[in-house]
Amino acid sequence: MELLVLLYALSTLYFLLMVWKWVGAKRDQECYILDYECYKPTDDRMLGTKFCGEIITRTKNLGLLECRFLLRAIVSAGLGEQTYAPRIMFSGREDNPTLLDGISEMEEFFEDCIANLLSRSGISPSEIDVLVVNVAMLSSVPSLSARIINQYKMRDDIKVFNLTAMGCSASLISVDIVKNLFKSYKNLFALVVTSESLSPNWYSGNDRSMILTNCLFRSGGSAILLTNKRAMSNRAMFRLKCLVRTHHGARDESYGCCMQKEDEQGRVGINLGKTLPKAATRALADNLRQISPKILPMRELVRFMVVNLARKMNGSSSEKTTGAPKTKVNFKTGVDHFCVHTGGKAVIDGIGTSLNLSEYDVEPARMTLHRFGNTSASSIWYVLGYMEAKKRLKKGDKVFMVSFGAGFKCNSSLWEVMRDMGDGNVWKDCIDRYPVKTSDNPFMEKYGWINQEMDLDPSTFKLVPDYI
């Protein structure tokens, strides 16, 4: 009988060992952000009001109407005087960008941001196992990821991915790749580098739907260091709870609303169509529908269902039309902070209304738009930096990130804050001036008269230089 007991004992032990390994494996699959760094370009790249006016006047192709349109756009954009532009704007060559301009813009960012991040977190480049780079509008041979590997001398068995053309929501797509890799492999360090290359993409024509991108996009970028090592969890800043991606490319109007094409003169630019706001709202609604069950507490979901059911029953019995306002889910029950993509003032307002957010909630996004402009995929990290600098993030808080991209995509994710944070990071030298009221901005002071100009007679219209 001893043999049988021995057999039982061995098999039970083995079984317990496997269970323990399985549980351990699950804990090794968490996605932690160890550190992140947002890029602050040098001060000689700041774009002030005077220089904006100069750029508009020296652009030869702009007619009077386009000038007025541009000025109107700049005035109401919500940008401040300290946003950054690529160097090519300051040497006046934006109409003829060379390949080197785009690449050197990126290399300047790589040298600064990634080096800072790695030295601050004490990780050497040869320890990086996964590298995901997303820069939407530049694809070169060798890829930008190969440039980073060359510059920092990373290992030869590194898993590297170079994503392009995925729009302003690409950083969450990169995090998605990293999250999936963390589930299959143990003990990895991942580096996600996200930025936008503006030098080769200045639109030099005069199609109104395409010149808007010139006004809004600014230079910026960020690098994020992630890991799934359990030992690092006490140093981690954030833990990923869930990530949901929604792609509405199947609908033609969503797909066609933001498209890179040539205008009648053959100049390439990004056309922002009139269906953009509607496509965005639809994608956002779909995305929220998928992510709310994962992030909201049970009682909020139950309350929403009950209220909706009651309203439906009331509505069907008394045949009321859409007089009553729709019940909205209260996201603040499950989320403490909102990182909204700074696509523009309209985008932030739109998301604020959809999610029923207060001014306090959208303040980080508005201030980021004011200070850094729309830095495309890296914008949500600047918004996160603002919250951190304002000491809003406490342990256990939940941060919700949402961003849009061409195609039309809406990606969102929920992060849990792992420890109290208060580092100034990229906002260090200006956080004390914020929040500012964006309604009175220097562009409004200088060019606000354009909003009152009703009739535009070319013979009496004074050219812009007089007002600079």
Partner 1 sequence: MPPSLPDFSNSVKLKYVKLGYQYLVNHILTLTLLPIMAAIFVEVLRMGPEEILNLWRSLQFDVVQILCCSFLIIFIATFYFMSKPRSIFLVDYACFKPPLTCRVPFATFMEHSRLILKDKPKSVEFQMRILERSGLGEETCLPPAIHYIPPTPNMEAARGEAELVIFSAMDSLFEKTGLKPKDIDILIVNCSLFSPTPSLSAMVINKYKLRSNTKSFNLSGMGCSAGLISIDLARDLLQVHPNSNAVIVSTEIITPNYYQGNERAMLLPNCLFRMGGAAILLTNRRSERRQAKYRLVHVVRTHKGADDKAYRCVFEEEDKEGNVGISLSKDLMAIAGEALKSNITTIGPLVLPASEQLLFLLTLIGRKIFNPKWKPYIPDFRQAFEHFCIHAGGRAVIDELQKNLQLSAEHVEASRMTLHRFGNTSSSSLWYELSYIEAKGRMKKGDRVWQIAFGSGFKCNSAVWKCNRTIKTAIDGQGPWADCIDRYPVHIPEVVKL
Tell which one of 88, 106, 136, 417 touches partner 1 (CB under 8 A). Answer: 136
Site string (146-175) toward partner 1, x via CB under 8 A: xx-xx--xxxxxxxxxxxxxxx-----x--
Q: Is 261 in the site for partner 1 (CB under 8 A)?
A: yes
Structure tokens at 418: 């792992």
Q: How far is the CB of 260 from partner 1 (least distance, A)?
A: 4
Site string (233-252) toward partner 1, x via CB under 8 A: -----------xxxxxxxxx
Q: How far is the CB of 173 from partner 1 (least distance, A)?
A: 7
Number of residues that bind partner 1 (CB under 8 A): 73
Q: Which is nearer to partner 1, 19 or 302 (CB)?
A: 19
Structure tokens at 120: 């601050």
CA distance linking residue 166 with residue 162, whole number of Å: 11
CA distance linking residue 106 with residue 195, whole number of Å: 8
Catalytic residue, chosen from 374, 411, 425, 441, is 374
Nearby residues of 14 by Cβ (< 8 Å), 6 or more positions away = none
Q: Which is nearer to partner 1, 142 or 277 (CB)?
A: 142
Torsion from C-alpha of 16, 17, 21, 27, nearest 10 degrees: 50
Clarify whether 370 is annotated catalytic. yes
Q: Is 286 in the site for partner 1 (CB under 8 A)?
A: yes
Tell which one of 181, 340, 383, 399 touches partner 1 (CB under 8 A). Answer: 181
Catalytic residue, chosen from 113, 162, 228, 341, is 341
CA 220 and chain centroid, separation: 11
Q: Over the range 149-168, which residues count as b (16 or more CB within 10 Å of their CB) and which as e?
A: beebebeeebebbbbbebbb
Stretch that binds partner 1, among 48-56, 187-195, 265-273, 444-452 (CB under 8 A): 265-273
CA distance linking residue 257 with residue 272, whole number of Å: 6
**Contact 371/421 with Cβ under 8 angstroms?**
no
Q: Is 224 in the site for partner 1 (CB under 8 A)?
A: no
Q: Is 422 in the site for partner 1 (CB under 8 A)?
A: no
Q: Which is nearer to partner 1, 327 or 354 (CB)?
A: 354
- Angstrom CA distances, 372 to 115, 181, 218, 364, stand at 21, 32, 7, 12
Clarify whether 113 is annotated catalytic. no
In the region spanning residues 361 to 420, those forming contacts with partner 1, defined by CB under 8 A, are 405-409
